[in-house]
Every structure is written in C-alpha cells, then in structure tokens.
Structure 1
Amino acid sequence: MAARVFFLFTLGYFLSYFYRSANAVLSKDLSQDLGLGPAELGFMTSLFYLAFAAVQLPLGSLLDRYGPRAVTPALLLVAALGSVVFGLAPSFPILALGRALIGVGMAAALMGALKAFSLWFPRSYATVSTLLVGLGATGGLLAATPLALMKEAMGWRGVFLLGAGVVVLVALLLYLGVRNTPPGVPWPRGEGGGGLREVLGNPRLLRVAFLALAFAGSFLALQTLWVGAYAYHLGLSAVAVGNLLLLYSGTAVLGFLLSGYLADRFGTARVLVLSALLFALGLVLLLLGFLLPAYLLLGFFGAFNILTLTQARELVPPHLVGRGTTLVNLFGIGGTFLLQWGVGVAVGALGYGWAFGGLLGLLLLALTLYLPLLRSRW
C-alpha cells in the first residue's frame, strides 16, 4: 500500500509539472493561432501560478480537514476541466480561463502528496519527498521533445484534450487506490489558527522568501515559457526547441535529486548561495547567446531553489512549520506569476536582453539581502 501511495501521488505531481511546462514548447503555436503578443502570452501562462498561489492557504485547511485522498482528486478534476477549456479555446479570454483552472486543479498535487507522505513515511519523509520532487519533475521532460512530437502529430488542441482524459484517470486512481493514513494510524487534528503574525515577523524567513521569489520565480518562469519562446525567437525549429528544453528539464531533475544531499553535507545556506550564483551565470550566458551551457546551468542549479522550502523548516518552531513553508512557497509561486508576466511585458517593450537582465538584477539583489544568513548556524 505504501508503494502505491507514493506512486500515485508522484504521478499526480508529474502531471502538474507537465502542464506548468507545456507552454514553452507550444508558445509559437498559441501566438500564431490566437494572435497573442508577448505580454498576453506571458500573462496567460503565468495565470497557472497566480491561481495556484491563490488557493494555497485554503488548500492547507482542506487537506488538514478532509485529507489528500479526497482533496487531491477533486482538484485534479478541476484541472481536467481546465485542460478541455484550454484545448477548445477560440479566444484569449477562454484560453486564460482554461490555464487558470489548470492552476487551481494542480495546486494540491505537491501539497497533497507531502501531507500524505508525512503520515505514510514519517521516518523517511525528507528522502521520500525529495524523490517525489525529482521524479515528478520528469513531467518537464515530457513537456519538451515528446510534446513537440505530439504537437506535430495531433496539434496542440489535441494534446490538451487527450491530457484531460489522463488527468481524470489519475484522479480516479488516487481516490480508489490510496488512504489518508496507514492502517491503524488515526487522522491527526489540526492545531487551529494563529501564528501567522509570528511567521511574518521573522526577518530571516522573509529573506528566504524573497530569495524564493527571485530564484524559484526565475527558474520556473524560464522553464515553463521564456527559454522556449526565446529559442523560437532565435529561429530554432520546434524539435530543436524541445531538445533544449529537454536539457533544461533533464538537468533540473538531477538538481532536485542532489540538492538535499548536498545541503545536508555542506549546509543549506552555502548550497543555496552557490547554486543561485551559478544560476545567475546561466542568465549571463543566455544573454551572450551560449544556449547549451546556459540551459544546462539554468536547469541544474535552478532546481536547487527547492532548498528555500527546506530552510524555511529550519527557521520556525515545529508548530509553525506549515505556515512558514507555505509563506515561502507563496513567494516562490507568486514570484513565478509576476516574473513570467513581467518578462512578457519587458520583451514586448524592450526586448529579451532587458527582460533577462532584469531577472539577473533581481536575483543578485535577493542574494545580497540573503547573505547575512550565511553567518547563521543551521
């Protein structure tokens, strides 16, 4: 049963990662078929993250009250509806609505899994959670070259209509195939409200949250749209773009899997600073046109942004861990929305150089504010 719980929740997170990444390969088709400019494309794609972030706090209460067995499949059905709306959309507003519904529906994919794993794998929670993120991130691989080939075979609309059926199937398997807790383990009761003011008043946690905004936000904004759109802008074919995204997402999987081990060995703060600096180097190489090394650095070291959530757990007392990590996650997901949209606005007005340079400047500012944490002991 435990293996089935792990597999099915990981499959749900795999689908979430696929959907968040798909527009990078499809950006050219969406722009041509529906007449989208860079700002519209960026805003529509970023709605996944806005909707995702908007439901995080109520989602936590629902998971605590009803459990992931019911909540995660229910929201996946919303994602399936969004996939149908997106695939049939005749105009930009309907397309945006579909994207937002997908974001709402996928919001429980990771948090529901982590809630379940905390009860099913209490002794190996960190290891199992890292494995979940690494394996689930392979959804980004499917949203690279394989998606480009599927799009050529059935069109982008067909991909989303087929995807809706897959999401419904996974939701059904989750509802029928998992339990909230292992046999004999009672469902824990929530601790009640309060504590948010204490979390918001933690200056070290806010430094981590701002780094998550700049680091996680840039990593996901690039992966799920702009590195693909930029490659198209340079004149590459759909398959060539897919191959570059495969490199980005493939190295990200390795980064997710290795980040926890390296943080445990060398310290979370040190690993975060070094990885963010190497991600910044990737942005510089992207600006200079060295695509292969840029995508490699951006993918592998960008994945280390997940350590901001690890560090959040280290900065708050046990009874505030949920609220502390949720706050940092909100900054990361909210940052993805703002940066994905902001890059689109900047590209339309000033070009890619200024847009990517803005990401670089924001990341360096966040690192400067974060540096005092290096003097702390974890």
Structure 2
Amino acid sequence: MAARVFLLFTLGYFLSYFYRSANAVLAKDLSQDLGLGPAELGFMTSLFYLSFAAVQLPLGSLLDRYGPRIITPALLLVASLGSVVFGLAQSFPTLALGRALIGVGMAAALMGSLKAFSLWFPRTYATVSTLLVGLGATGGLLAATPLALLKEAMGWRGVFLLGAVVVVLVALLIYLGVRNTPPGVPWPKGGGGGGLREVLGNSRLLRVAFLALAFAGSFLALQTLWAGAYAYALGLEAVKVGNLLLLYSGGAVLGFLVSGYLADRLGTARVLVGAALLFALGLLLALFKLLALAYPLMGFFGAFNILTLTQARELVPPHLVGRGTTLVNLFGIGGTFLLQWGVGVAVGTLGYAFAFGSLLGLLLLALFLYRPLLGLRTSG
C-alpha cells in the first residue's frame, strides 16, 4: 500500500509539472493563434501560479481536515475542466480562465503529497519527498521535445483535450487507490488558528520565504515560459527549443534528486546559497546567448530551490510545520506569478536583457537578506 501511495501521488505531481511547463513549448503557437503579445502571454501563463498561490493557505486547512485522499482528486477534477476550457479557447479571456482553473486544480498535487507522506513515511520523509519532486519533475521533460512533437501531430488544442482525460483518470486512481493514513494510524487533528500569526512573525522564516520568491520564482518563470520564448526570439525552431528545454528540465530532475543528499551533508543554508549563485551564473550565460550551457546549469541548480521548503521545516516547531511550509510555498509560487508576468512586461518594453538582469538583481538581493541564516547548523 505504501508503494502505491507514493506512486499515485507522484503521478499527480508529474501532471502538475507538465501543465506548469507546457506553455514554454507552446508560446509561439499561442501567440500566433490568439494574437498574444509578450505581456499577455506572460500574464496568462502566470495565472497558473496566481490561482495556485491563492488557494495555498485554505488548502492547508482542507488537507488537515479532510485529508489528501479527498482534496487532491477533487482539485484535479478542477484542473481537468481547466484543460478543456484552455483547449477550446478562442479568446484571451477564455484562455486565461482555463489556465487559472488548471492552477487551482494542481494546487494540491505537491502539498497533498507532502501531507500524505508525513503520515505514511515519517522516518524517511525527507528522502521520500525529494524523490517525489525529482520524479514528478520529469513532467517537465514531457513538456519539452515530446510535447513539441505531440503538438506537431495533434495541435496544441488536442494536447490539452487529451490531457483533461488523463487528469480525470489519475484523480480516480488516487481516490480509489490510497488511504489518508496507514492501517491503524489515526488521523491527526489540526492545530489552532493562531499558528499562522506565529509563522508570519518568524523573521528567519520570512527570509527563507523571500529567497523562495526570488529563486523558485525565477527558476519556474523561466522553465515554464520564458526560457522557451527567449529561444524562439533568438530564431530557433520548435524542436530545437524543445531540446533546450529538455536540457533545462533534465538538469532540474537531477538537481531535485541530489539536493537533499547534499543538504544533509553540507547544511541546507550553505547548499541553497551556492546553488542560487550558480543559477545566477546561468542567467548571465543566457544573456550572452550560450543557451546550451545556461539551460542545464539553471535547471540543475535552480531545482535546489526546493530546499527552501526543507528549511521551513527546520525553522518552526512540529505543530507548525504544515503552515510554515505552506507559507514558504506561497511565496515561491506567488513569486513565479509576479516574475513570469513581470518578465513579459519587461520584454515588451525594454527587452530580454533588462528582464533577465532584473531577475538576477532580485536574486542577489534575496541572498543578501538571507545571509544571517548561513550561521545555522541545520541539515535537510
């Protein structure tokens, strides 16, 4: 049963990663078919993260009360509806609505998994959670060259209509195939409402949250849209863009898988800072159009942003772990919305050099504010 719980929740997160990443390959088609400019494209794509972020805090309460077996499949059905709306859209508002519904629906894919794993795998939680993210991130691989080829075969609309069917099937499998807790383990009661005020008053946690905004936000804004759009702007064709995104997403899968191992041995804070600096180097290489070097570098080290969630668990007492990690995840996903949209506005007015340079400056500011945490002797 435990293996089935891991497999099915990982499958749900795989779909979430695919959907968040798909627009990077489809950017050119969406722009041409519906007449979207860079700002509209960035805003529409970022709605996944805005809607995703908007439900994070109530999601935590729902997961505590009803459990991931109910909440995760229920929200996946919303994502399926969003995929249908997106695939049938003939206008920008309808397209945006579909994207927002997909974001709401996928909001429980990661946090629902982590809630379940905290009960099913309490002694190996960090290892299993890292494995979940690494395997789930292969959804980004599917949203690279394979998606480009599939889009050529059946069109981008057909991809989203087929995806809706797959999401419904996975929702059904989770509902029928998992339990909230292992046999004999009671469902824990949620804590009181004062915990949110306590985590918001934790200055160290807020430093981590701001780093998540800058680091996770930049990593995902690039992977799920602007890395592809930038490559198209340099004149590359769809399959070549897909290959570059495969390097980005492939690097991310490896980064997710090894980040926990390195944090366990070198310390979470030290590994986070080193990875963020190397991600910044990748941004510089991208500005110099060295994409074959920049994209795998940004993918691999950008994936280490997941350690902000690990560190959130280290900075709050056990009864606040859910709210602490949800808060940091809110900043990371909210940052992706802001940065994905912001890059679109910047590209449309001042170009890619200014947009990518702004991401670099924000990340360096977050690292400067994060410095006091380097003295903590914590592990992932």
TM-score under structure 1 length normalisation: 0.99
1:175 equivalenced with 2:175 (yes/no): yes
Aligned equivalents of 2:170 and 2:321: distance in 1? 29
- SS of alignment partner, residue 124 of structure 2: helix
Aligned equivalents of 2:169 and 2:76: distance in 1? 10
- SS of alignment partner, residue 377 of structure 2: coil
Q: Which residue of 2 aligns with 1:52?
A: 52
Q: Which residue of 2 aligns with 1:300?
A: 300
Task: Measure how far apart 1:376 and its partner are.
Answer: 2.7
- SS of alignment partner, residue 100 of structure 1: helix
Structure 1, 130-139 or 364-373: larger mean CA deviation = 364-373
Give CA-to-partner distance per residue, 1:33-56, whole Å, 9 cap, x none: 000000000000000000000001
Q: Which residue of 1 aligns with 2:116?
A: 116
Task: Report the AA paired with residue 107 of structure 2.
Answer: A
Task: Report the AA paired with residue 175 of structure 1.
Answer: Y
Task: Measure how far apart 1:192 and its partner are.
Answer: 2.1
Q: Which residue of 2 aligns with 1:164?
A: 164
Aligned equivalents of 1:368 and 1:349: distance in 2? 28
Structure 1, 56-65 or 243-252: larger mean CA deviation = 56-65
Task: Report the AA paired with residue 8 of structure 1.
Answer: L
Aligned equivalents of 1:88 and 1:23: distance in 2? 15
- SS of alignment partner, residue 90 of structure 2: coil
Aligned equivalents of 2:150 and 2:330: distance in 1? 33
- SS of alignment partner, residue 22 of structure 1: helix
Task: Measure how far apart 1:372 and its partner are.
Answer: 1.9
Aligned equivalents of 2:18 and 2:211: distance in 1? 25
RMSD: 0.7
Aligned equivalents of 1:320 and 1:112: distance in 2? 16
Matches within 5 A, 1:347-358: 347-358=347-358
Q: Which residue of 2 aligns with 1:68?
A: 68
Give CA-to-partner distance per residue, 1:25-83, whole Å, 9 cap, x none: 00000000000000000000000000000001111111111111111111000000000
Aligned equivalents of 1:120 and 1:204: distance in 2? 29
Q: Which residue of 1 aligns with 2:186?
A: 186
Q: Which residue of 2 aligns with 1:150?
A: 150
Aligned equivalents of 2:203 and 2:187: distance in 1? 34
Structure 1, 368-377 or 151-160: larger mean CA deviation = 368-377
Q: Which residue of 2 aligns with 1:82?
A: 82
Give CA-to-partner distance per residue, 1:238-277, whole Å, 9 cap, x none: 0000000000000100000000010010011110110000
Q: Which residue of 1 aligns with 2:329?
A: 329
Q: Which residue of 2 aligns with 1:224?
A: 224
Give CA-to-partner distance per residue, 1:181-230, whole Å, 9 cap, x none: 11121111112211222211211111111111000000000000000000
Q: Which residue of 1 aligns with 2:260?
A: 260
1:360 equivalenced with 2:360 (yes/no): yes
TM-score under structure 2 length normalisation: 0.98
Aligned equivalents of 2:342 and 2:228: distance in 1? 16
Task: Measure how far apart 1:377 and its partner are.
Answer: 2.6
Task: Report the AA paired with residue 126 of structure 2.
Answer: A
Task: Report the AA paired with residue 324 of structure 1.
Answer: G
**Cα 1:376/1:122, change in 2 over 3 Å:** closer
Give CA-to-partner distance per residue, 1:276-326, whole Å, 9 cap, x none: 000000000001111111001100000000011111111112222111111
Q: Which residue of 1 aligns with 2:374?
A: 374
Structure 1 stretches of at least 4 aligned residues deviating more than 3 Å after TM superposition: none
Structure 1, 308-317 or 227-236: larger mean CA deviation = 308-317
Task: Report the AA paired with residue 198 of structure 2.
Answer: E
Q: Which residue of 2 aligns with 1:312?
A: 312
Task: Measure how far apart 1:375 and its partner are.
Answer: 2.1
Ranges in structure 1 where 5+ consecutive residues have no aligned partner: none
- SS of alignment partner, residue 106 of structure 2: helix
Aligned equivalents of 2:135 and 2:300: distance in 1? 14
Aligned equivalents of 2:179 and 2:314: distance in 1? 29
Asked whether the equivalents of residues 60 and 323 of structure 2 are also in contact (C-alpha less than 8 Å), the reply is no
Q: Which residue of 1 aligns with 2:208?
A: 208
Ranges in structure 2 where 5+ consecutive residues have no aligned partner: none
Aligned length, in residue pairs:
378
Task: Measure how far apart 1:138 and its partner are.
Answer: 0.2
Task: Report the AA paired with residue 95 of structure 2.
Answer: L
Give CA-to-partner distance per residue, 1:316-367, whole Å, 9 cap, x none: 1222211111111111000000000000000000000100000001001111
Task: Report the AA paired with residue 177 of structure 2.
Answer: G
Task: Measure how far apart 1:2 and its partner are.
Answer: 1.0
Aligned equivalents of 1:201 and 1:184: distance in 2? 37
Q: Which residue of 1 aligns with 2:240?
A: 240
Aligned equivalents of 1:202 and 1:116: distance in 2? 26
Aligned equivalents of 1:248 and 1:120: distance in 2? 32
Give CA-to-partner distance per residue, 1:70-107, whole Å, 9 cap, x none: 11111000000000000000000000000000000000
